[in-house]
Amino acid sequence: MPSAFELPTMYDADIIKARTANVSLTNLRYLNLNNSTYGSTTMLMKEVLDAPFLQKLELSGICLPSPIPPLPQLRRLRISRIASGSKNEGMPMTALLSCLLNTPSLEELVVDDALGKLLGKKKDRTTVQLPKLSWISLTTAHVANSTLFQYIQYPASARINFHSTTEPPRGSDIRNLIAIFSHFATSDAAMRINALSLDYDSTIKKHTKVALTATARGVRLSALLPCISIKTLHVGGSPKINRADWSNLLKLYENTRVLEAEDVAPSFLEALLKAPEDEWPPLAEVEEVKLHGCHFDSPYSNPSLTSLVKQLLQERNDLEIPFDVVGISDCYILESTVEELEEYDVRIDWDEETLQKEEEEDEEEEEDDDAEYWRERYY
């Protein structure tokens, strides 16, 4: 019997040879398969997965047969990119849950565009206990698949990634995400979060740095997390969030020292100002502000942006809690505007790059136009 078939790691070609030679795969430790060879033949998959010592399984374009043989030592499972000929194709969530019943030692679960639109019947959704799970990642085009998290019992300290490749969650789907955050908020790990990122995309990640969808619901979700240890707050985009929602959120971050604002809307800057009924403004402990991608002086600028920044700087001075430094990077801003901001006794850390690049591009275009003119005239 060829020794190559006894290797602990096998790929598609090795499996084909092993089957041809009628070799047992029971001692297999790592298996990587893709649909270029197998398609989704259920009988073949069950035969291949008869490997009780398997520790790592990666499938690309292949549905797991349901149920699978017991895999008591499986530590890592990744299922990705199941080809879809119709919008409902993909592995039903109930089938995945049924398979997870036989992987009690699982530590890492990655499901990347592998679940279809169909969730399966509710009565068939089995709750799975995965006490060793430390990392779970779900990428899907169907936000309703976030229901998966409610049927897996995992440690509150587990790292989570949820990514919707279509629209941000809405309606009833938000309840699933609230459950994720509420579960995580009960863990000691939640108290160690030191940075929160609110960006206008459809991703939720929970590590020591947290990224969250900056929709109105996303902003409210972040209020479920302990905020006392968050030293750095990053905000990007979010044009549809109103001042009231921002104000209610920002009041929670009493110990934040660094604020990173990227291409923010005026409503966010307004929320940084002190309300008449309050003694102090939100983020009163912030010492450093980093502005990135904000258009102060471009043709597309919001005319209130510069005035709001000036108003913010003046208010902080009046309250005797001035910023130590305001960073300005990758922003369209004139040197004269920078000089006006410096009049508020704050150090402005300006990269001077964006405007310079655009001026150079304009000069190059003018030179190209001149060259074209002379070519047409004399040649």
Question: What's the pLDDT tens digit per position in 285-334?
Answer: 999 999 998 888 888 777 889 999 999 999 999 999 999 999 999 888 99
Element (H, E) at 45: helix 42-48
Mean pLDDT of 102-117: 91
Mean pLDDT of 12-23: 53
User: How far apart are the C-alpha atoms of 44 and 104, rounded to whole Å?
Assistant: 23
Is the predicted pLDDT of residue 195 greater than 60, yes or no? Answer: yes
Angle at 339 between CA 329 and CA 356, to 5 degrees: 45
What is the pLDDT at residue 10? 47
Q: Are the C-beta atoms of 7 and 33 separated by less than 8 Å? A: no
β-sheet bridge partners, residue 135: 108, 159
User: How far apart are the C-alpha atoms of 269 and 293, rounded to whole Å?
Assistant: 14
pLDDT in tens, 35-47: 654 444 445 566 6
Closest listed residue to residue 39, CA positions, set 61, 23, 59, 65:
61
- Within 8 A by CB and 6+ apart from 130, the residues are 100, 103, 104, 106, 109, 152, 153, 154
What does the block give as tokens for 283?
A: 């983020």
Angle at 178 between CA 174 and CA 179, to 5 degrees: 120
**What band does 197 get if pLDDT is binned at 50, 70 and 90?**
low
| Total structural domains within the chain | 1
Q: Does some domain include residue 277? A: no
Q: Does some domain include residue 139? A: yes
Q: Does some domain include residue 122? A: yes
Distance of CA 186 to the CA centre of its chain: 21
Provide, rounded to the nearest whole percent, the portion of the chain with pLDDT above 70: 65
8-state DSSP, 222: H
Q: Does some domain include residue 268? A: no
**What band does 172 get if pLDDT is binned at 50, 70 and 90?**
low
CATH number of the domain that residue 40 is part of: 3.80.10
Is the predicted pLDDT of residue 174 greater than 70, yes or no? Answer: no
Pick the range with the lowest mean pLDDT from 21-30, 99-108, 131-140, 189-198.
189-198
State the burial class of residue 186 (Cβ atoms within 10 Å of its Cβ: 0-12, 13-18, 19+). exposed
Q: For residue 104, what are the domain limits? A: 1-155
What does the block give as tokens for 25?
A: 């795969």
Give, in order, the Cα–Cα distances in Å from 37 to each of 12, 29, 64, 78.
Answer: 7, 20, 15, 18
Q: Does some domain include residue 206? A: no
What is the pLDDT at residue 202? 37
What is the pLDDT at residue 64? 77
Q: Does some domain include residue 48? A: yes
Pick the range with the lowest mean pLDDT from 103-107, 176-180, 339-343.
176-180
Q: Does some domain include residue 229? A: no
Q: Does some domain include residue 36? A: yes
User: How far apart are the C-alpha atoms of 138 and 129, rounded to whole Å?
Assistant: 17
Q: Are the C-beta atoms of 344 and 367 separated by less than 8 Å? A: no
